[in-house]
Chain A
Amino acid sequence: MSADSGRFKPGDRVKVRFEDRPGHIRTPWYIRGKAGWVEKVYGQFLNPESLAFGGDGLPKKTLYLVAFNHSDVWGNSRVRADKVLVDIYEHWLDPAA
């Protein structure tokens, strides 16, 4: 069991870390630094940042479905209810107010 497992629950506000480092990063650039909320906890998955370089993917990382208001990501959305949902591993998330 990894130390950071299951830190967030559905409804928790989260902010995606703004990190710029090389590697097999599955957190899209456009969502880094953006705030949203946990929609669903998908469970524990092997870490692709390790697997991509021949690693064992351990420790597993908790994967979340994180929802963002479309307008919070891109600004000026005509329809306020529209959302962008991204699958994000826990080590890319911080709690947000």
Chain B
Amino acid sequence: MSTADAHGHDHPKHELSHYAKRIYAIRDLLLEKGVISEKDIQCQIDYQEARSPANGAKLVARAWVDPAFKARLIADPKAACAEMGIDATAINEFVVLENTETVRHMVVCTLCSCYPRPILGRPPDWYKSFNYRQRSVVDPRSVMREFGLNLPDDVEVRVHDSTADIRYLVLPLRPRGTTDGWGETDLAKLVTRDSLIGVMDALPAIPE
């Protein structure tokens, strides 16, 4: 719910938090001073909303069916994205972490919420929570267990704290056996957002 005020644009009616008030104040100042326009803001919202984990799922599904593509995706992720029509140019450095039977990767940003947004869109709220940001580095196995992934002790967990210019995407394992002969479109449905962050595996073809 919002209402137009004296200076022409909308503000929510309900009581705002301290940070929300600050954001609106900064937005109003930027508009009043002509630094940005309403159209710029809308374009940026549209851009952010147009990205989704479906992009990551497409990359993974192609990598599962095409070993040569998988090699390119790991060697030069941005070029592999371009091949698939996914624009990754806004990322400074993009790194793909390949899961194996013996190694699982998990991504966190303990400092804030760094995430491969140009590809996957906005991170889920839990990714930004203090709970995840603290516990993922201290006790990653428990966090994975809460997402439904019970790893045996002979699988190594590698938690990546995304503290700088690198954005990480996990390449989950293809579910074993049950997806033989599947096409990319069906395979992509098994690649959840959470499997691209690494807190769980891709979905099994037949629910367990």
- Chain A interface residues (CB < 8 Å from chain B): 26-28, 30-31, 42-43, 45, 48, 63, 65, 67, 70, 73-74, 78-79, 81-89
Contacts and interface: CB of A to CB of B under 8 A. Distances in A.
Interface of B: 92-93, 110-111, 137-138, 140-141, 153, 156-166
Contact of A84 (B111, B137, B164): B137
B141 A84 contact: no
Contact of B164 (A45, A70, A79): A45
A86 B107 CA distance: 10
B164 A85 contact: no
Contacts of A87: 161-166
B94 to A, nearest CB: 11
B153 A88 contact: no
Contact of A26 (B111, B141, B156, B158): B111
Nearest to A85: B160
A85 B158 contact: yes
B134 to A, nearest CB: 9
15 contacts: A27-B163, A28-B161, A28-B163, A31-B161, A45-B92, A70-B159, A73-B137, A78-B153, A79-B153, A82-B157, A83-B158, A84-B158, A87-B163, A87-B165, A87-B166
